[in-house]
Amino acid sequence: GYLCEGECGNSLFIRKGSDKYYTEGHHLIPLCYQKNFTYSLDVEANVVSLCPSCHRLLHYGKDISPILSTLYEKRKQRLKKCAIEITYEQLLLLYR
């Protein structure tokens, strides 16, 4: 839907040459941890749509718990269907 899945309420802008909002893709489980998983992390279930502010928050923010928890709850069942199982606590450790 070209909306921020972080439920931040940030104002989004329309892309040039399009009628869609600008969002950025982010791998919820970072690809650098692929070696810890049997199945590919580069799947749609592991990619979330974020506004630039929420995307930067996940990469550089001090307290990412609220947004990470929201994204995890939205995606955990889809990840499980792709045979990617991770608890929220395990995911949070990957971002430390």
Segment 49-88, tens digit of pLDDT:
999 999 999 999 999 999 999 999 999 999 999 999 999 9
Convert the pLDDT of each residue in 20-57 to its tens digit: 999 999 999 999 999 999 999 999 999 999 999 999 99
21 neighbors 12 (Cβ within 8 angstroms) = yes
Retrieve residue 56's tokens.
Answer: 């930067």
Q: What share of the chain is helix, strand, coil (3-state, %, to 5)?
A: 45, 10, 45
How far apart (Å, rounded) are the C-alpha atoms in residues 81 and 78?
5
Q: Specify the 3-state DSSP secondary structure of 21.
A: strand
Rounded to the nearest 10 degrees, how much is the dihedral formed by the CA atoms of 56, 62, 65, 68? 20
